[in-house]
């Protein structure tokens, strides 16, 4: 029973820490591009300065008309100034946008790169316990949304902030009294904006999490479409999708509704500011204190420019809320605990095939024991068959041999060295695996066959394909060995995919083999031919054969019978039949 803690306090503290930490992480990525950042700030200053000069020139133009009739020569000079200022503002804004685009694209590229690199360093346990679609959503969809929010933030936040500071300065220089009134009313707009945006974070977080859940479900539904149709499960899948979609709709509506309150609220405050400026300015003009109609025109223009950034910034803040939620999800992936690094580990060289499991205990869930006190000693060249009921621990044993998982206690030894003291790369290079679940990457047949031995010649590749009885169907393909394969070999049958995986191992010829139902999708006639090729391949190589069809392992040197993570029987086929125990029951169950 877990200790019951106060969810309110934990959530609040975590949220604050997360927001601050996410902001610092984003700034650390932005800081890698100081030249583009400095240029963006400089162009923002130029844009704002040029924009703020335009009302001054228009004020001069109004005075040229209002004071002593229309002075065309002076007006012409003013219009030239306005044109130059507008041109400078447009050019600098375009250059600023280029810099911001570069920063945004580079930052998202770096974050995506770090996230994808992290996938290769994560333990298999993470992949087994997290929905694949949600992981894809973090790297693709969340990164895109973060990029949009970051770009909008850079484009509008800096210019908006500088516009506010610049207009305050101009207003105070022109008329201190009216300028102070504007400054004193401003906090009301800021308060309203902060109140609304602070309440949108949780809705954006719910929206992003639900979108990740939806992506995971859709990915799962597409991958298992044949099975879904075979079991007529379409209606249930549609109902599940509709349920997730309804939650996403509700979360999106809440996020959109509350974020949309920001702009109208701040506009109302800003319109009050504009009205106050117009009223006070008109009174100043009528009082004859030297405050001209042109000055009033400038002030009204500045009041409009002053309030406009508040609307933009508050809109940007809601976008940034969503962007930081997406960034936090990506950083969660990047911050996941990696596999124990292989620093100071030795490489496994000249492996002969000596493998020993010394008093090994392991379980995926600590409360549910699986393998306990398992000791095995396998000599070079031995063929070790592993049989047992589903869930007995056969595939778990393979995971431990390949060090996809580390043992809880005891040790797995190869050539007398604990696998935890050997680099994972060198350990796995000495194993060749053919699993029941095949895997092929998007690429040509040639690229898939040479994956384990890139330096192999075409002659070696073709010889391996012939041994695996894959050469004939490869030659019948449109481009032979250069035929592109779709994702996971989608344009091949299951049997053809398995033959390619077998050919891949026959080309690599590693010193140790793991065959987990390696011929499960192949017809009986081809299986017999493959078995002959495997016989040659296994000569002098330590081989671990996981099999459900016991006819395929009758010639194994040692057969291990596993039940509930323990080896309950060990011996040759004939010896185990004579014992009339667990193996005999399995065998007779298949051939009685």
As a three-state string, the secondary structure of 68-117 is CCCCHHHHHHHHHHHHHHHHHHHHHHHHHHHHHHHHHHHHHHHHHHHHHH
pLDDT for the residue numbered 314: 65
Rounded to 10 degrees, the C-alpha dihedral 522/523/525/529 comes to 0
Whole-number pLDDT of residue 203: 79
Co-location of 261 and 232 in the same domain? yes
> Which of 300, 334, 368 is a domain's end point?
334
pLDDT on residue 7: 35
Identify whether residues 272 and 413 lie together within a single domain. Answer: no
What's the confidence (pLDDT) of residue 53?
A: 81
Q: What pLDDT is attached to residue 263?
A: 67
Domains in the chain: how many in total? Answer: 2
Query: Domain end: 287, 302, 334, which one?
Result: 334
Residue 345 covered by a domain: no
pLDDT at 461: 92
Are 313 and 365 contained in the same domain?
no
Rounded Cα distance, 277 and 369, in Å: 76
Contact present, 262 and 256 (Cβ < 8 Å): no
* Chosen domain end from 278, 302, 334: 334
- The answer to the question of residue 5 being in a domain is no
* Predicted pLDDT of residue 462: 92
- Examine residue 349 and state whether it is found in any structural domain, yes or no: no
Q: Is the pTM of this model over 0.75?
A: no
Residue 6 lies in a domain: no
510 and 551 inside one domain:
yes
In a domain, 525, yes or no: yes
Model pLDDT, residue 348: 85
Same domain, residue pair 223 and 145: yes
Alpha helix ranges (H) inside 231-337: 234-260, 262-287, 293-334
Structure tokens at 231: 């079991």
> How does DSSP classify residue 153?
I
* CATH number of 462's domain: 3.40.50.300
Are both 180 and 55 inside the same structural domain?
Answer: yes
| Same structural domain, 417 and 310 | no
Q: Among residues of the chain, what percentage have pLDDT more than 70?
A: 87
The answer to whether residue 565 is domain-embedded is: yes
Of residues 186, 154, 155, the one with CA closest to residue 168: 186
437, part of any domain: yes
Which CATH number belongs to the domain containing residue 112 in this structure?
A: 1.20.1560.10
176 and 242 assigned to the same domain:
yes
Residue 307 in domain: yes
**Buried b vs exposed e over 140-156: b needs ≥16 C-beta within 10 Å?**
ebbbebbbebbbbbbbb
The bridge status of strand 558-563 relative to strand 417-418 is unpaired
Residues 294 and 366 occupy one common structural domain: no
Q: Is 315 in the same domain as 181?
A: yes
Residues 110 and 174 occupy one common structural domain: yes
pLDDT tens sequence across 167-207: 888 777 777 877 787 777 766 766 776 676 666 767 777 88
Domain that holds residue 109: 33-334
> Cβ distance 380 to 354 under 8 Å?
yes
Chunk the chain into consecutive blocks of 10 residues (it has 592) and report each block's average pLDDT, rounded to whole numbers: 36 47 84 89 87 76 62 72 87 89 88 87 80 82 82 75 80 78 72 70 80 83 77 84 89 80 72 77 72 72 73 69 82 84 81 87 81 84 85 81 88 90 88 81 88 89 88 89 81 81 86 80 71 76 83 82 80 88 83 62
Cβ contacts of residue 495 below 8 Å, gap of 6+?
521, 522, 523, 526
**Is residue 325 domain-shared with residue 362, that is, in the same domain?**
no
């Amino acid at each position: 029973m877990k200790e019951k803690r106060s969810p309110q306090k934990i959530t609040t503290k975590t949220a604050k820490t997360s927001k601050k930490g996410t902001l610092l992480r984003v700034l650390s990525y932005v800081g890698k591009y100081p030249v583009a950042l400095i240029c963006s700030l400089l162009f923002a200053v130029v844009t704002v300065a040029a924009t703020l000069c335009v009302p001054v020139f228009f004020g001069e133009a109004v005075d040229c008309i209002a004071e002593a009739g229309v002075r065309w020569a002076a007006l012409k000079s003013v219009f030239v100034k306005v044109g130059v200022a507008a041109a400078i503002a447009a050019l600098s804004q375009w250059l600023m946008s280029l810099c911001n685009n570069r920063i945004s694209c580079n930052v998202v590229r770096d974050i995506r790169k770090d996230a994808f690199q992290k996938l290769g360093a994560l333990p298999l346990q993470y992949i087994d316990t997290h929905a694949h679609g949600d992981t894809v959503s973090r790297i693709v969809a969340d990164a895109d949304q973060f990029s949009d929010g970051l770009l909008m933030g850079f484009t509008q936040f800096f210019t908006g902030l500088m516009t506010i500071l610049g207009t305050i300065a101009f207003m105070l220089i022109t008329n201190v009294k009216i300028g102070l009134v504007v400054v004193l009313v401003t906090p009301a707009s800021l308060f309203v904006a902060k109140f609304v945006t602070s309440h949108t974070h949780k809705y954006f977080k719910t929206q992003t999490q639900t979108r990740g859940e939806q992506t995971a479900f859709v990915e799962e539904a597409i991958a298992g479409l044949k099975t879904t149709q075979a079991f007529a499960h379409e209606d249930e899948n549609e109902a599940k999708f509709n349920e997730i979609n309804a939650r996403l709709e509700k979360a999106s509506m809440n996020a959109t509704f509350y974020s949309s309150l920001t702009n109208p609220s701040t506009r109302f405050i800003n319109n009050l500011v504009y009205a106050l400026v117009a009223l006070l300015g008109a009174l100043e003009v009528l009082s004859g204190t030297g405050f001209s109609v042109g000055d009033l025109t400038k002030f009204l223009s500045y009041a409009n420019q002053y309030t406009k950034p508040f609307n933009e910034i508050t809109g940007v803040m809601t976008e940034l809320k969503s962007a930081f939620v997406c960034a936090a999800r990506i950083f969660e992936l990047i911050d996941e605990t990696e596999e124990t690094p292989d620093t100071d580990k030795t490489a496994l060289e000249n492996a002969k095939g000596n493998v020993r499991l010394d008093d090994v205990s392991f379980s995926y869930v600590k409360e549910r024991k699986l393998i306990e006190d398992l000791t095995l000693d396998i000599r070079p060249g031995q063929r070790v068959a592993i049989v047992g009921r589903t869930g007995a621990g056969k595939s778990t044993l393979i995971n431990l041999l390949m060090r996809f998982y580390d043992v809880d206690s005891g040790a797995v030894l190869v050539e007398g060295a604990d696998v935890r003291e050997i680099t994972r790369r060198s350990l796995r290079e000495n194993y060749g695996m053919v699993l029941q679940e095949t895997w092929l990457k998007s690429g040509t047949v040639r690229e898939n066959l040479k994956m384990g031995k890139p330096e192999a010649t075409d002659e070696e590749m073709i010889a391996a394909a012939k041994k695996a009885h894959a050469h004939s169907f490869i030659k019948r393909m449109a481009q032979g060995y250069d035929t592109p394969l779709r994702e996971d070999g989608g344009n091949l049958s299951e049997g053809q995919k398995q033959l390619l995986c077998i050919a891949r191992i026959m080309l690599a010829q590693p010193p140790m083999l793991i065959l987990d139902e390696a011929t499960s999708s192949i017809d009986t006639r081809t299986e017999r031919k493959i078995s002959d090729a495997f016989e040659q391949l296994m000569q002098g190589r330590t081989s671990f054969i996981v099999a459900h069809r016991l006819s395929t392992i009758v010639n194994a040197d040692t057969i291990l019978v596993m039940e509930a993570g323990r080896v309950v029987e060990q011996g040759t086929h004939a010896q185990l039949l004579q014992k009339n125990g667990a193996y005999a029951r399995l065998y007779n169950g298949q051939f009685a």
